[in-house]
A and B are shown apart, each in its own frame.
Chain A
Amino acid sequence: MADTLVRTERPAASAEARRGAVAAPHRKGRFVPLLYVAPALVFYALFVIAPWLHSFWISFWNWNGIGAATWAGLSNYTAVFEEPALRAALTHAFGFIVFYTVVPVILGLILAAVTSAVPWRAMPVIRTIIFLPQILPLVAVGVVWKWIYGEDGPLNQMLRAVGLGSLARAWLGDFTYAFPAVGLIGTWVSTGLCFLLLLAGIGKIEPSLYEAARLDGCGRLREFWHITVPGLRKEIGVACNVTVISALAGFDVVYVMTGGGPGYSTMVPGVQVYQLVFTAGRVGTACALATVLSLITCAAMYGLNRLSRER
C-alpha cells in the first residue's frame, strides 16, 4: 500500500524546502505527510488529549468515581483554591521550584563555569556518575533518601558523630524540616542535568568573546556575568523548563517518602490527586486540581520559552 503513495519530485525551490533537508512533495502529495503523522497523532489524541479533555469535563461534576454524578459547576475549582490542604499542595509545588530549579541551575552554572576551562581525563567518569540520577527510578531515589533522613539513618548518625547530636531528629516527621528535606532530593536529582546542559552550552560560546574580554582586562567574575551567563541564555531556559516541570508534577518521591505529611507539610498536587480519588472518592475535585496543575505547567513552560528566546 505504501508504494502507491504519490512520488516525490525534485524539491521545490521554496525557502522552506531549502531550510530543511527533506524534499517537499509535489502539490498532489501535499497531504501525504499527514498520513505519516496520523498514527502518532491518533495515539496521542486517544491516550493524552482525550483523557485530558475527559478530566476537564469530570472536573465540573461531583462524582465519587462509582455512583452517578451531579453537576457541580465551578465548586470543585473553588475547593482547589479554598481548601487549605489543596491550596497547600499547589503552594508546595511552587516551593519545590526553588529546590528543583533555582538551586540546581545556580550550582550547575557555577560548576560549569569553573570547570569548563580545565580539561580533565577523569571527566567521562565524572559525567557518567553525575548523570546517574536522571536514569534512576524516582521511587528508588525516594527509598534511599527516606532511609538517610530516618531517625537512626546515616544523616543523624553523622551528626551525632561530629557532636551535633542535638540537631538529630526524624527529619521527615518534622513540620519545619520535612519540606526542605524532600526538596533537597530534587536538588540532588536536577543539579547534574543542569551542570551538563550548561557545560555543553559553554562549549558553544565563541572563544573569541573570552579573548576579547581578557584583552579588555576583564576579571573572571565579569567574564562570567557578561559573557558566560548571556551566552547560556538558551541553555538556562531549557534547564529551567525541564526542572520546573518535574518540580510541579512530582509524585513518586513524595508518595514514597512522606505521603504528604506530617500534617500537609509536604503535600503536592500529584499525591493530593491520588488521595482525592482513591481515599476521599472526590474524583471531580481531583480532576479540577489536575486541570489547574496542567494549566500552570503549560503556562510556566510557555513563559520560560518566551523568556529564553527573547533578544
Chain B
Amino acid sequence: MTKQLPRLALTVAAAAVLFPFLALFTAALQPQSNLSPGLSWPSDPQWGNFATAWTTAGFGSLLKSSAVIALGVVPIALVLATLAGYGLATMRLKAKGPLFALLMLGLALPYEAIVIPLYYDLDSAGLLNTYWAVILPLVGLFMPFGVFWMRTHFESLPKELLEAAAVDGANSWRTLTRVLLPTAVPALTTLGLLYFMWAWNQFLLALVLIQDPAMRTAPSGLGKFVQQYGKNIPLLSAGTFIVIAPIVLVYLLFQRHFIKGILQGAVK
C-alpha cells in the first residue's frame, strides 16, 4: 500500500502530461472531412495528413529557419558565455557586485519589455526581417543564464588544476583553452542544448521581428497555421506534431542534459 500509492500518483502525473499528446495524435490521423474530431482511434488512419500539413504550411522552410536561428545563436552564445563565465570567476574587482546585479536583472526581464524598441532599433539598423534580427537579441538575452552557468562550473573546479597551470607558467588564455575547457565539455553541452531549445522554440521575437512568415521559427509558423487552418483539427494536429517532433527527438537523446540543466540552472 505505502508503495502503491506514490507509484499511482506518479503514474497519474505522467499520464496527465502524455494524455493531451496522445489525444492529439489520434486527431492528426482523422480524415480531414471530420473537421473537429473528438477522442477516438481513427478507423482509417490518414498518415497523409502529415504530408499535407507539411506542404500547406511550408514547414520545410520553417524548420529550416528554426534551425538557422538556433544554430546561429548556439555557437556565438556559447563562446561569449564561456569567456564571460571565466572572467567573472577570476574577477576580483569591486565592479563584480553591480555586474552581477545587472545580469540578474536580465533573468527577470520579460521579452515583451524589449521587443518593441528592438523592432524600431533593428529597423533603423537595417536588420529587420533577417535571421540576425532574432539571433542577435537572443544571444543578448541568453547571456545572464549562460554566464552564471559557466561561472558556476569554473568555480566548482578543484583549485589544484589552476595551480598546476600557473606553475607551468600558462597565461590566462592558455589556462582557459588548455586546462579549463576540456573539463567544461559536459557543462557546455548542457548549455548548448538549452540554448538550442530556447532558440528553436522562440515565438514572440520571431513573430515581431521577422515579417516574412517563411523565415520565422517553426512555432511562429504554427501560430500562423492556427489562424488559417484553426478549424481543420486533423491538419492542425499533424502540423503541431511536425513542429514539436525535432525538439522532442533532441530531448529524448539528451534528456539527462536537459533535466540537469534546467534544474541546476534554476537553482544556480
Q: Which residues from chain A sit less than 8 Å from chain B, CB to CB?
A: 2-3, 5-11, 14, 16-18, 20-25, 29-41, 43-52, 54-55, 58, 65, 111, 114-115, 117-118, 120, 122-123, 125-140, 143-148, 150-154, 156-158, 188, 191-193, 195-197, 200, 234-235, 238-239, 241-242, 245, 248-249, 251-252, 255-256, 269-270, 273-274, 277, 283, 286-287, 290-291, 293-294, 297-298, 300-301
Q: Which chain A residue shows the least CB distance to B260? A: A200
Main secondary structure of the interface of A (DSSP, over half): helix
Q: Is the CB of A51 within 8 A of B121?
A: yes
User: Is B116 an interface residue, CB under 8 A from the partner?
Assistant: yes
Q: Mark B190-222, 1 if CB is under 8 A from A, else 0.
A: 000000010011011000100000000011101
Q: Indicate whether B185 reaches chain A with its CB closer than 8 angstroms.
A: no
Q: Is the CB of A115 within 8 A of B10?
A: yes
A29 to B90, CA, bound (A): 11
Beyond contacts A139-B223, A252-B219: 8 other A-B pairs, Cβ-Cβ < 8 A, are A18-B159, A20-B89, A23-B162, A25-B92, A134-B258, A139-B203, A147-B24, A195-B13
- Once bound together, how far apart are the Cα atoms of A123 and B113, in whole Å? 39
Once the chains bind, are A127 and B259 in contact (CB under 8 Å)?
A: yes
Also in contact, A251 and B87, with CB within 8 A (given A22-B154, A114-B9): no
A115 B17 Cβ-Cβ under 8 A:
no
Most B CB atoms within 10 A — which of A2, A33, A65, A126?
A: A33
Given A8-B175, A50-B121, A273-B116, A135-B251 contact (CB < 8 Å): yes
Is there contact, CB below 8 Å, between B90 and A25? yes
| A residues less than 8 Å from B39 (CB atoms) | 154, 157-158
Of A23, A55, A195, the contact of B113 (CB 8 Å cutoff): A55
Please pick, from B102, B169, B259, the residue contacting A7 in the complex, using a CB distance under 8 A.
Answer: B169
Interface residues of B (CB under 8 A from A): 2-3, 5-7, 9-11, 13-14, 16-18, 20-21, 23-24, 27, 36-39, 79-81, 83-84, 86-93, 95, 99, 102-121, 136-137, 139-141, 143-144, 146-147, 154-159, 161-163, 165-167, 169-176, 180, 197, 200-201, 203-204, 208, 218-220, 222-223, 226, 233, 236-237, 240, 243-244, 247-248, 251-252, 255, 258-259, 262-263, 266-267
Q: Given A8-B170, A36-B83, A43-B139, A131–B259 Cβ distance below 8 Å?
A: yes
Are A287 and B116 interface neighbours, CB within 8 A? yes
Tell me which of A111, A241, A249 contacts B13 (CB under 8 A). A111
Mostly, the B contact residues are: helix
List 13 A–B pairs whose Cβ atoms lie within 8 Å, in order of A's numbering.
A8-B175, A29-B172, A33-B86, A34-B93, A120-B7, A128-B259, A132-B251, A140-B222, A143-B226, A200-B263, A252-B203, A290-B110, A294-B113
Measured between beta carbons, the chain A residues less than 8 angstroms from B171 are 3, 5-8
The answer to whether B223 and A256 have CB atoms under 8 Å apart is yes
Q: Evaluate contact between A14 and B92: CB separation under 8 angstroms.
A: yes
The answer, among B136, B165, B172, for a CB contact under 8 Å with A47, is: B136
Q: Is the CB of B112 within 8 A of A251?
A: yes
Given A24-B92, A54-B117, A139-B219, decide whether A49 and B13 contact each other with a Cβ distance below 8 A: no
Closest 5 CB pairs of A and B: A36-B87, A47-B140, A249-B110, A40-B84, A54-B117
Given A39-B83, A235-B267, residue A111 in contact with residue B91 (CB < 8 A): no
B155 near A21: Cβ-Cβ < 8 Å: yes
Q: How far is A151 from B37 in the complex, measured between Cα atoms in Å? A: 11
Residue picked from B159, B161, B169, most chain A C-beta under 10 Å: B159
Complex interface: chain B residues within 8 A of A156 (CB): 38
Q: Within the complex, what minimum Cβ distance (angstroms) separates A120 from chain B?
A: 6
Given A23-B166, A23-B175, A137-B219, residue A37 in contact with residue B84 (CB < 8 A): yes
In the assembled complex, which residues on chain B have CB atoms less than 8 Å from the CB atom of A39? 79-80, 83-84
In the bound complex, CA of A128 to CA of B140 (Å): 30
User: When the two chains form their complex, are residues A137 and B201 in contact, meaning their CB atoms are under 8 A apart?
Assistant: yes
Q: From known contacts A39-B84, A126-B11, infer whether A22 and B107 are also in contact, taking CB-CB under 8 Å.
A: no
Residue pair B233, A47 in contact (C-beta under 8 Å)? no
Check if B83 sits within 8 Å of A118, measured CB to CB.
no
